């Protein structure tokens, strides 16, 4: 039987990534293609203990249905952390628990975007956002992302042409580029947006992972009513629990909550209680400092090796945090070719084109440095250098 | 600041249920309003043990990111159970894990429904489905649900007018009515649908909870390529884990999977592994038989009390399984009035109107019998009888 699908399904970019990931997970292949935090940093013992205690003390209610907004003590923990770390006057009433921050991308587009509505994002932009937004059929406008943030002239031009339903950005250690907005760019963006109808959607999946351990100024602090911010425990505690959150003004969160309820009633409640129990008895700051320091070592090593082993015409970003960096290949080399030749040589990279929603980017590759150890990084970059030198 | 929301948000039915649930959870109120399985039937000890073993043996990978389709051994367990219990040749490749079967409602509408597309459902119909579908702006057509299933003449008329994107039904112990399709209605429906473009979406949240322990013929068996079927562990193991599934032909499941990936990457992986570990070492059949027997006792008691204590002009359904029954009130009594007077008397019911997407139903109330013990059922129905007699 032939099935007929909704028009929106035709808007989803073709997903060749699944095939890439399958190929890149062959034995013997060192993969810089994925987006996993380092498994060795998951505190399995601490989470096992929290899980045991929840089962003993609170199991019956933690395993029952719960409310859509999420476990109140966990929402209070998140709000308190915003107040303490970032100086934002967040309240639990402004926090909604979701299945990892990916679900925020879906639900925000669901509540804000009619087909044909204009939304903005960085170029290159996060692929998961492109996929989530595309299913609501917006017109996506991009602003080139420079080393200091979105190009301000383009940003200003875009806003002058029309108000956007929202502009989506990752100011801290962006995916895929690893770039962080400079402080003055954050202020300029807030000024340009202030008083327009455009929401600033600040995806902060990586804000805790600065190698220097210092938080950066959130745009949300400059645009309290116009800014919304998503976060996740995936990169700082454990991804497999799928627990993230949206932080937004209450009138917007009420609609977000209604959409969440229609989507899946509520997020896994047992893991919300376990996570809160874990956080209440562990020093997340210390844990995150340790992880960030190690990611920083990995990143510096990868940058140094790229500088030493690659032709000088290969350029790359120099992340201050996060899990990724982006390389621009020497003229004429296709990232798809680097991928296929790389796998033969035993190293996998992620071709950058899918991050460029309006085309281009075939000369870029994303490298992940959080889920490979020192030895793998040394050997993997050496293999990659051989591939690139052959293709140059 | 005034926020502007997408047009679809205006299609969401007004949610007064939250307020009702808040009121009905006051201390001293016996609630038949909710939809919770009995907490005492959750095997906390068994799940605690499974959780401990997963943490010990497999914690690091169970807490990491995973694939969108879900944990393969769990999908194999589900497919095997379909083969064994229902005689359907299901394969793991046709199963996608989701966050409770509510997420199936969202994702199916997402992949199949453009604004204005016709979809069909029972009248009364499941409120969670009405909410999920409404956000995709379909035209919802209803078919009256008789004691034996959807009225066949109306069903046939509806299909003759136009093919539907899908018809959504709950053949086993429907929510809110508690009704079960008769065998010949299942065959008639399959015959009417066969060869049309209309998908039959069979929500089987309650199929394991027949009081006689016997499965009923799934429509999916009669319409292999045209039928899709959702299921859930919420009512038979534990709701708080939010683990359900969609069972659909592979070409449809591929699109469903793409939509799931864009929505939230994958469902809580840790709980998928824990649940599988639990199921592999526990006899789910025996557990479900025990739960169903107790729900059956609760249901018969409630029906007997309604027959004894209510005016003869109050009628009610006689469920063969599930968690709910539906009462039709004596002429002129409003269910909202029964709700507000009931709370004063210390008993909460769910007004039926929200289950009637095209209006009406104000003379119906839904009663839940799975989450109240024998004493509470006796006392609660007695209180309700006083309210109704006062309002008659």
Please give the average per-residue pLDDT across B233-240, as a whole number. 96
- Chains A and B form CB pairs within 8 A to the count of 227
Residues of B in contact with A61 (CB under 8 A): 39
Please give the average per-residue pLDDT across B289-308, as a whole number. 98
CB B171 within 8 A of CB B190: no
Q: How many helices (H) and strands (E) does chain B have?
A: 13, 14
B42: closest CA of chain A, how far (Å): 7
SS3 for B23-80, per residue?
Answer: HHCCCCCEECCCCCCCHHHCCHHHHHHHHHHHHHHHHHHHCCCCCCCCCHHHHHHHHH
* A35 in contact with chain B, both atoms CB, cutoff 8 A: yes
pLDDT of residue A304: 98
Q: Taking a contact as any Cβ pair under 8 Å apart, which residues of chain A between 307 and 366 contact chain B?
A: none
* A22 in contact with chain B, both atoms CB, cutoff 8 A: no
Q: Which residue of B has its CA nearest to A69?
A: B18
* Predicted TM-score of the model (pTM): 0.97
**Distance between CA atoms of A108 and A255, rounded to whole angstroms?**
9
Q: Taking a contact as any Cβ pair under 8 Å apart, which residues of chain A between 206 and 225 contact chain B?
A: 225
Residues of B in contact with A98 (CB under 8 A): 264
User: In this complex, which of B165, B240, B249 lies closest to A270 when CB atoms are compared?
Assistant: B240
- Tell whether the model's pLDDT for residue B24 goes beyond 80: no
8 Å CB contact of B241 and A270: yes
pLDDT of residue A19: 72
CA angle A328, B262, A149 (to 5 degrees): 40
Provide the pairing of β-strand B364-368 with B324-328: antiparallel
Q: Which residue of A has its CA nearest to B133?
A: A262
User: In this complex, which of A4, A66, A111 lies closest to B9 when CB atoms are compared?
Assistant: A111
Please give the average per-residue pLDDT across B288-294, as a whole number. 97
Residues of A in contact with B103 (CB under 8 A): 263-264
| Confidence tier at B25 by pLDDT (50, 70, 90) | confident
For chain B, the average pLDDT equals 96
Residues of A in contact with B6 (CB under 8 A): 110-114, 117, 136
A240, A256, A258, A275, best to mutate vs chain B, most B CBs in 10 Å: A240
Please give the average per-residue pLDDT across B19-39, as a whole number. 86
Q: Which residue of B has its CA nearest to A241?
A: B268
Q: Taking a contact as any Cβ pair under 8 Å apart, which residues of chain A between 149 and 188 contact chain B?
A: 165
| Confidence tier at B255 by pLDDT (50, 70, 90) | very high
8 Å CB contact of A263 and B106: yes
B215: closest CA of chain A, how far (Å): 25
**Distance between CA atoms of B305 and B311, rounded to whole angstroms?**
11
Domain boundaries, chain B: 7-43+286-391, 44-281
Residues of A in contact with B117 (CB under 8 A): 6
pLDDT of residue B332: 85
B357: closest CA of chain A, how far (Å): 15
Overall residue count recorded for chain B in this entry: 392
User: In this complex, which of B114, B255, B261 lies closest to A131 when CB atoms are compared?
Assistant: B261
* B59 in contact with chain A, both atoms CB, cutoff 8 A: yes
pLDDT of residue B14: 76
Residues of A in contact with B63 (CB under 8 A): 42, 44, 47, 238-241
pLDDT of residue B375: 97
* B368 in contact with chain A, both atoms CB, cutoff 8 A: no
pLDDT of residue B331: 87
B293: closest CA of chain A, how far (Å): 20
**Distance between CA atoms of B54 and B62, rounded to whole angstroms?**
8
A296: closest CA of chain B, how far (Å): 21
DSSP structure string for B304-360: HHHHHHS-TT-EE---SBSSEEEEE-STT--HHHHHHHHHHHTEE-EESGGG-TTS-
Overall residue count recorded for chain A in this entry: 392
Share of chain A above pLDDT 90, in %: 95
| Confidence tier at B19 by pLDDT (50, 70, 90) | confident
- Tell whether the model's pLDDT for residue B366 goes beyond 90: yes
Please give the average per-residue pLDDT across B121-139, as a whole number. 97
Share of chain B above pLDDT 90, in %: 95
Residues of B in contact with A265 (CB under 8 A): 99-100, 102, 128, 242
| Orientation angle between helical segments A284-309 and A374-391, nearest 10 degrees | 30
B386: closest CA of chain A, how far (Å): 31
**Distance between CA atoms of B375 and B77, rounded to whole angstroms?**
38
8 Å CB contact of A44 and B51: no
pLDDT of residue B135: 97
Residues of B in contact with A239 (CB under 8 A): 63-65
Cα–Cα nearest to B202, from B137, B127, B126, B96 = B126
User: In this complex, which of B63, B131, B242 lies closest to A262 when CB atoms are compared?
Assistant: B131
Please give the average per-residue pLDDT across B346-358, as a whole number. 95
Report the first-to-last Cα separation within chain A, whole angstroms: 49
Helix (H) or strand (E) holding A46: helix A44-62
CB A203 within 8 A of CB A232: no
Pick the CATH number of A45-281 from 3.30.420.130, 3.40.640.10, 3.90.79.10, 3.10.129.10: 3.40.640.10
Interface confidence: ipTM more than 0.85 = yes
- The tens-digit pLDDT sequence of chain A (392 residues) is 899 999 999 999 877 677 777 777 788 999 999 999 999 999 999 999 999 999 999 999 999 999 999 999 999 999 999 999 999 999 999 999 999 999 999 999 999 999 999 999 999 999 999 999 999 999 999 999 999 999 999 999 999 999 999 999 999 999 999 999 999 999 999 999 999 999 999 999 999 999 999 999 999 999 999 999 999 999 999 999 999 999 999 999 999 999 999 999 999 999 999 999 999 999 999 999 999 999 999 999 999 999 999 999 999 999 999 999 999 999 889 999 999 999 999 999 999 999 999 999 999 999 999 999 999 999 999 999 999 999 98
**Distance between CA atoms of A253 and A262, rounded to whole angstroms?**
14
Residues of A in contact with B234 (CB under 8 A): 65
Pick the CATH number of B7-43+286-391 from 3.30.70.1230, 3.90.1150.10, 3.30.559.10, 3.30.360.10: 3.90.1150.10
B371: closest CA of chain A, how far (Å): 11
Residue A38 has a CB neighbour count (10 Å cut-off) of 18
8 Å CB contact of A238 and B106: no
User: In this complex, which of A48, A240, A267 lies closest to B65 when CB atoms are compared?
Assistant: A240
**Distance between CA atoms of A386 and B9, rounded to whole angstroms?**
54
**Distance between CA atoms of B210 and B218, rounded to whole angstroms?**
14
User: In this complex, which of A36, A135, A265 lies closest to B262 when CB atoms are compared?
Assistant: A135
8 Å CB contact of B268 and A263: no
Residues of A in contact with B240 (CB under 8 A): 62-66, 268-270
SS3 A164: coil
Report the first-to-last Cα separation within chain B, whole angstroms: 49
pLDDT of residue B373: 94
* A116 in contact with chain B, both atoms CB, cutoff 8 A: no
Q: How many helices (H) and strands (E) does chain A have?
A: 13, 14
User: In this complex, which of B99, B117, B255 lies closest to A99 when CB atoms are compared?
Assistant: B99
* A103 in contact with chain B, both atoms CB, cutoff 8 A: yes
pLDDT of residue B21: 73
pLDDT of residue A96: 98
**Distance between CA atoms of A241 and A101, rounded to whole angstroms?**
12
Kindly report, residue by residue over B42-87, the tens digit of the pLDDT.
999 999 999 999 999 999 999 999 999 999 999 999 999 999 999 9
* A259 in contact with chain B, both atoms CB, cutoff 8 A: yes
Residues of A in contact with B9 (CB under 8 A): 111, 255, 258-259
CA angle A208, A213, A217 (to 5 degrees): 65
8 Å CB contact of B55 and A35: no
B262: closest CA of chain A, how far (Å): 5
CATH number for the domain running over B44-281: 3.40.640.10
Structure-block tokens of residue B118: 């016709």
Q: Taking a contact as any Cβ pair under 8 Å apart, which residues of chain B between 369 and 388 contact chain A?
A: none
CA angle B5, B6, B12 (to 5 degrees): 95
A310: closest CA of chain B, how far (Å): 31
| Burial class, A205, CB count within 10 angstroms (exposed 0-12 / middle 13-18 / buried 19+) | buried
Q: How far is CA B59 from the centre of its chain?
A: 32
């Amino acid at each position: 039987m032939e099935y007929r699908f909704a028009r929106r399904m035709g808007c989803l970019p073709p997903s060749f990534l699944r095939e890439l990931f399958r190929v890149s997970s062959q034995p013997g292949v060192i993969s810089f293609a994925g987006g996993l935090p380092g498994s060795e940093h998951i505190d399995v013992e601490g989470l096992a203990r929290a899980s045991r205690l929840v089962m003993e003390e609170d199991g019956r209610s933690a395993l029952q249905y719960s409310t859509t907004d999420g476990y109140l003590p966990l929402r209070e923990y998140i709000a308190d952390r915003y107040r303490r770390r970032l100086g934002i006057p967040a309240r639990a009433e402004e926090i909604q628990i979701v299945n990892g921050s990916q679900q925020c991308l879906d639900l925000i587009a669901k509540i804000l975007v009619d087909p044909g509505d204009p939304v903005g994002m960085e170029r290159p932009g996060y692929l998961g956002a492109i996929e989530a937004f595309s299913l609501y059929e917006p017109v996506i406008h991009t602003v080139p992302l420079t080393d200091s943030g979105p190009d301000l002239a383009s940003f200003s031009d875009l806003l002058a042409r029309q108000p956007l339903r929202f502009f989506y950005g990752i100011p801290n250690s962006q995916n895929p580029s690893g770039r962080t907005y400079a402080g003055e760019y954050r202020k300029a963006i807030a000024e340009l947006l202030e008083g327009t109808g455009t929401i600033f959607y600040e995806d902060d999946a990586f804000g805790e992972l600065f190698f220097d351990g210092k938080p950066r100024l959130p745009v949300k602090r400059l645009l309290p009513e116009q800014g919304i911010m998503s976060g996740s425990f995936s990169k700082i505690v454990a991804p497999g629990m799928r627990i993230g959150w949206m932080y937004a003004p209450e009138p917007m969160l009420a609609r977000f909550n209604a959409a969440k309820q229609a989507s899946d009633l509520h997020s896994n409640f047992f893991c919300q209680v376990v996570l809160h129990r874990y956080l209440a008895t562990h020093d997340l700051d210390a844990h995150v400092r340790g992880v960030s320091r190690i990611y920083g070592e990995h990143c510096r090593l990868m940058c140094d090796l790229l500088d030493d082993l690659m032709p000088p015409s290969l350029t790359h970003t120099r992340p201050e945090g996060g899990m990724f960096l982006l390389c621009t290949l020497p003229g004429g080399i296709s990232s798809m070719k680097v991928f296929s030749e790389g796998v033969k040589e035993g190293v996998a990279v992620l071709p950058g084109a899918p991050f460029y929603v309006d085309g281009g980017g075939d000369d870029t590759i994303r490298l992940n440095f959080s889920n490979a150890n020192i030895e793998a990084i040394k050997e993997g970059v050496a293999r990659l250098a051989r591939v690139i030198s052959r293709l140059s």
